Amino acid sequence: MTDSSAASANANLPRVLAAAFALLRRDIFLLVRRPSRIAATILTPALLWAFFAGGFTDAVASVGPNAGDAYTRSLAAGAALLVATFTSVFGALGLIRDRETGYLQAVLVGPTPRVVVVASRVLSGALFAFLQAATMLLAAFVLADGVALDAVLESAVMLALAAVGLSGICAALAWHFRSIEGFHGVMSAVLMPAWMLSGAVFPPGETSGVLGAIMAANPLAYTHAAIAGPLGAFESGPAPTVVTTIFAIAGLIAAIASARGDAKR
């Protein structure tokens, strides 16, 4: 890089950061104006957690000592992952809506680099997903016995990485849809089964055959293990942490690649 190009890049950096902050501020403003969306996103997973925990904990407890408590903690991690999934889908729906109204095109033809626009949307979506999903971890810390604060913080880091991956994947897919209905249908057919087979409802070790193979290839199974492991649900090992980190990076790259590919069409 020449001295002139380096100077130009340094001069443009404040404008790029200001544009990214403006995009993030707009997303925050729109979210705050829709409290019902926040309530619905959190309430549904919370009810699922309560129903599954109330209905299956006693049955699971008969398997062995502390099995019921471990299942409750695993469900808490699953509820947090479900909140992050719902929020990421809603964020991607907002991306499609912005394109329909012309707002996205107006931003993309401006001086802000496309990479900055896409990364801002992914990171803002991940931030909202994490903040809402973290309420499930706080609930686990308050309601479950023996959950240490450092364990909750470790799970929160894994949850943040999972939120980045989910937001990126949803944004990447949203670039290829022109209707909210079509995108919502595909997400319901893909992400919900992926969550159901993540180990959030039943442990991966209890499955075999086709379902076991699907769960072994499901990235959400590793993100759930990375979130639930520190809470004491089960021994997760290093693999979930590595896969969750890769999932976050891959989601961000996929969103940027999809946006660039859409620009060339």
Task: Flag whether 56 is in a domain.
Answer: yes
Q: Determine the pLDDT at residue 115.
A: 81
Q: How many domains does the chain have?
A: 1
Over the stretch 137-190, which tens digit does the pLDDT of each residue have? 887 777 666 778 888 899 999 999 999 999 999 989 888 887 787 887 888 788
Over the stretch 155-165, which tens digit does the pLDDT of each residue have? 999 999 999 99
Question: For the chain, how many helices (H) and strands (E)?
Answer: 10, 0
Task: Flag whether 8 is in a domain.
Answer: no
pTM above 0.95, yes or no: no
Task: Flag whether 13 is in a domain.
Answer: no
Tokens of 206: 């209890």
What domain range is 43 assigned to?
19-264
Contacts with 256 (C-beta within 8 Å, 6 or more apart), sequence order: 115, 118, 119
| Residue 111, SS3 per DSSP | coil
Task: Flag whether 7 is in a domain.
Answer: no
Higher pLDDT residue, 117 or 38?
117
Distance CA 32, CA 44 (A): 19
Q: Determine the pLDDT at residue 180.
A: 82
Task: Flag whether 65 is in a domain.
Answer: yes
Contacts with 168 (C-beta within 8 Å, 6 or more apart), sequence order: 122, 126, 248, 250, 251, 252, 253, 254, 255
Task: Flag whether 3 is in a domain.
Answer: no
Tokens of 179: 């209707």
Task: Flag whether 131 is in a domain.
Answer: yes
**Residue of 60, 228, 84 lying closest to 144 (CA atoms):** 228
Q: Is the dihedral of CA 119, 76, 82, 133 positive or negative?
A: negative
Could you say which DSSP state residue 179 is in?
-
